[in-house]
Structures are given as structure tokens and as C-alpha cells.
Amino acid sequence: MIINSLLDTDLYKLTMMQGVLHQFPWAEVEYEFKSRNKEINISRTVEQVKKEIKHLCSLRFTEEELDYLKNLRFMKKDFIHFLRLFQLNADFIHVGIENNEFALRIKGPWLHTILFEVPVLAIVNEVFFR
């Protein structure tokens, strides 16, 4: 599997997630992947990307990872407790073929979708270049 830890992300995403928890826990968002190069067809990757996302959604923060985050002075205790319960939900992400093109859309609560962005882009990139 390509991603084996929820810490395999940008620290900025975690700090933003903490901000969302404290300021905008109700906010709904939608992200959409757009390939800027129309000459490259990545639709052949759909099934493998789905498999990788299923694995991603099975991951939880480990105690060791939470201990690491606890030691960052700007991480709040309530956020660490939230992460202890956190798991990405596959119901918020759609991967498929639309109009003969690769389609990837993330839609749902910002707090529960914000950590999809970095690992999902890494998955799409890695699967395509394999």
C-alpha cells in the first residue's frame, strides 16, 4: 500500500484541521481533482486508486503518532483526543469515470475530509507512474 500512516501528510493540513475543529466544525466542502494535461489519460488507474483509498480509510492514528503530535507545542489536547477517534470515511470520496475521464470528488464535512487531499494526490500520482 502507498500510504500507511495518517501522518503521511503535510503538517499544515493537521494544523488547519485543528483550526477547523475549533472554528468551523460545521463547514461543508467539496474538492474535485482536475487533470491539467488532457493528453494523459489516467482513467486506467481508477480501480487501483479505489483500492488504495479503501486502505487509507482503514488507517487510524497510532499511540506513537499521537505522542509525537502531543509534543508539538501548538497542538491542543482536545485535538489530540479528537485524532484518537478520527478515521477517514470512504463515503465522502468518489472515484470513477465520468465522460470517459478520471473523476475524483471529495464532498462532506470539512473536518472529516481535510486529511484526504495530500494522501489522495500522492496515491493518484504513485498509481499512475507505476
Question: pLDDT of 5-16, one tens digit each?
Answer: 999 999 999 999
pLDDT greater than 90 at residue 47: yes
pLDDT tier, 50 (very low <50, low <70, confident <90, very high otherwise): very high
CA atoms within a 13 Å half-sphere pointing along the CA-CB vector of 48: 15
Cβ pair 49, 124 in contact under 8 A? yes
pLDDT tier, 36 (very low <50, low <70, confident <90, very high otherwise): confident
- Across the range 78-88, mean pLDDT stands at 98
Cβ pair 57, 89 in contact under 8 A? yes
pLDDT greater than 90 at residue 41: no
Mean pLDDT over all residues of the chain?
Answer: 96
pLDDT greater than 90 at residue 37: no
pLDDT digits (tens, 9 = 90+) for 55-66: 999 999 999 999
Q: Quick one: CA dihedral 109, 112, 115, 116, positive or negative?
A: negative
pLDDT tier, 34 (very low <50, low <70, confident <90, very high otherwise): confident
List Cβ neighbours of 105 (8 Å cut-off, separation of 6 or more).
30, 31, 32, 33, 93, 94
pLDDT digits (tens, 9 = 90+) for 69-80: 999 999 999 999
pLDDT for 53 equals 98
Total Cβ atoms within 10 A of residue 108: 16
Q: Which residue has the higher pLDDT, 4 or 40?
A: 4
Cβ pair 116, 105 in contact under 8 A? no
